A and B are shown apart, each in its own frame.
Chain A
Amino acid sequence: MDTVSSRTREAPLVMLLLTLVPSIAVAVRVADALWLAAGAVLVMTGSSVARAILDGARPAGTPETGTPAADGPGEEDRTARWLRALVISSLLTAAFEAGLLAVAPAASAALGIYAPLLAVNLLVAGKGGPDPSGASPLRATLSSLRNGAWFAGGLVAIALAREVLGAGTITLFPVSGFGGTITLSPLLDQPVRALGFAGGGLLCLGYLVAAVRAVLARKGSAAPRAEASR
């Protein structure tokens, strides 16, 4: 089944939403999702800006140093680009982690391993949009911000659903006078706790992707619908 569906193209938005999979583990409270989304936006944007700048410093098409020019974009070139992307992405993630630890240690603890995982998680996310290489840093920034917004939107939407239905609360940031947690009493009594577990996150994401597809199809958008044909 997936042999064929993988070859039909998914809408870029759907591909982007897929990169949410590890991150939805923390999408159980809205505040945590917001922090992680902020980190994602930072890493995505920073990565593509850095890439645009570095690529801009060399004319497009010039092979990386050390690869045989005759190969063109060969295996080694790909590996080199991949490594470079890793460097950028992991440094940005480390910066985000350090910042988060300083500003909101509780959130840092709540995000656990999923903050550092942004380093590799988003390598794929960047491919969801138009290829930023060759684009100016400004366009790269805008493109990544847009991707980041979708990522954040999906993550927060899932967190909202899971927290409201699964715990009867909405956890935001404590601001003067406001403790940070909104409680919804009728739901607080016996919330649907199953939504707060890993399975709940996967189910929510699955139906979210389906909803996105339905909306895209209805809009008759240019992105081809992914239907596995036999």
Chain B
Amino acid sequence: MAESIRHAGPGDPATSAAPHLRVRMSTSRMAWLASLSLLPAAAWGIVLFGLPALIVLVVSIASAAAAEAAATLPRGKVTLGDGSAFFTGLLVALLMPAGVPAYVPAAASAFGILVVKQSFGGLGRNWMNPAMGGVVFALLSWPGLLSQWAAPLGSAAANAAVPPLEALRAALAAPGPRDATPLAVLARAGYGFSGLDSAAVGWVNSHVLAPLGTRLQPGTLDVLIGHVAGGIGSTCAPLLLAGAAFLLTFGVIRWHLPVFYIGTFGLLAFVFGGLGTGQGWLAGGPLFQVLSGSLVLAAFYAAPDPVTSPLMNTGKCILGAALGVLTFFLRFFGSLGDGVAAAIVLGNCISPLLDRWMERRKVQELGQGVA
């Protein structure tokens, strides 16, 4: 994320040959900014999950830094100062369960830095997102370890260590009456939410919404603020969105990809999400789906990585939509967790092709314009 900026090079695209020149702007600022914007979510993760989360963070970042140093030292120039290795380590850690054995994030970060990034020439030359590549490697290697989550602080309930998404899947797999929304399904299945949530939701229901004839489902607050089991930094949407706003303001990322990603996914989840489980059309619980898993984190911090996302805004929108479609299918039918990491790396595969196709079209258009 934010490792460099690629620009179309000087010269008319109609006359210059592929590949276009890539101009790298000052990257230190961008990578460190991105890391900075993730700190609130990381801090929340440490609060929620305690020392294990801190250990994962430290190990992951240290591993990424060590890998980067090892790879760049022989070439004479150690590039730790640009902050991109730190960012990779941080992002990997935020996607991990808190209690995971240390070698998993270490391996994921090292793989991401050494294989996905440095083998291709380092900063700005990779085509796959290093953090996501490392996470996919870990998912394929240790699927069991990566589905053992930790219960957040303050949840004593029996199934508090199961993330809402997985609990929902389990509940829907069992036969029984079908409720309209995911939270209702979870409530019926006896999923435990925190005391704070019960208090807050109860208060809002009795004092604000009862006169209006509606009510909030128990669990709403927990899901909204991310007080649930999940990746260390991926549960708290508000903090992530705040960080994203920070990045957007500073121009580190553009809005097109994340918006199209989340929008497409939300729409598909809404329309089709309830079909497989007997809830019917337009009953997919889009808000719940968007807030579950690492979608928000990936949509703002991994997918719009300027190095691996399409050059043109149209391309970004298209890829965003494609990622939304992929995530939908992979989450609802796939086998690799919440579908996000797999979708991102698949998107990385098609992004250069998309770029090429759009360049071609542009060249054709320009050619017609000139003639």
* Chain A residues with a Cβ under 8 A of chain B: 190-195, 197, 203
Contact A194 B115 (CB under 8 A): no
Residues in chain A near residue B115, CB distance under 8 A: 203
- Kindly supply a per-residue 1/0 record for chain B positions 113-141, scoring 1 wherever the CB is within 8 Å of any chain A CB and 0 otherwise: 00100000000000000000000011011
- Inter-chain CA distance A194–B137, complex, in Å, is 6
Contact A190 B142 (CB under 8 A): yes
- Inter-chain CA distance A72–B86, complex, in Å, is 63
Report if B259 contacts A (CB, 8 A): no
Which residue of the partner chain A has the closest CB to B101? Answer: A190
Report if B317 contacts A (CB, 8 A): no
Identify which of residues 62-117 in chain B touch chain A, using a CB-to-CB cut-off of 8 Å: 101, 107, 115
18 A-B pairs in the complex with CB atoms less than 8 angstroms apart: A190-B101, A190-B142, A190-B145, A191-B141, A192-B107, A192-B141, A192-B142, A193-B140, A193-B141, A193-B142, A193-B143, A194-B137, A194-B138, A194-B140, A194-B141, A195-B141, A197-B140, A203-B115
- Inter-chain CA distance A141–B115, complex, in Å, is 39
A1 vs chain B, min Cβ distance (A): 9
Residues in chain A near residue B142, CB distance under 8 A: 190, 192-193
Q: Chain B contact residues: over half helix, strand or loop, or mixed?
A: helix
* Chain B residues with a Cβ under 8 A of chain A: 101, 107, 115, 137-138, 140-143, 145
- Inter-chain CA distance A191–B107, complex, in Å, is 12
Residues in chain A near residue B101, CB distance under 8 A: 190
Which residue of the partner chain A has the closest CB to B143? Answer: A193
Residues in chain B near residue A194, CB distance under 8 A: 137-138, 140-141
- Inter-chain CA distance A193–B142, complex, in Å, is 7
Which residue of the partner chain A has the closest CB to B142? Answer: A190
- Inter-chain CA distance A95–B143, complex, in Å, is 42
A192-B141, A194-B137 provided; 16 other pairs, C-beta below 8 A?
A190-B101, A190-B142, A190-B145, A191-B141, A192-B107, A192-B142, A193-B140, A193-B141, A193-B142, A193-B143, A194-B138, A194-B140, A194-B141, A195-B141, A197-B140, A203-B115
B88 vs chain A, min Cβ distance (A): 18
B129 vs chain A, min Cβ distance (A): 16
A180 vs chain B, min Cβ distance (A): 25
- Inter-chain CA distance A29–B59, complex, in Å, is 32
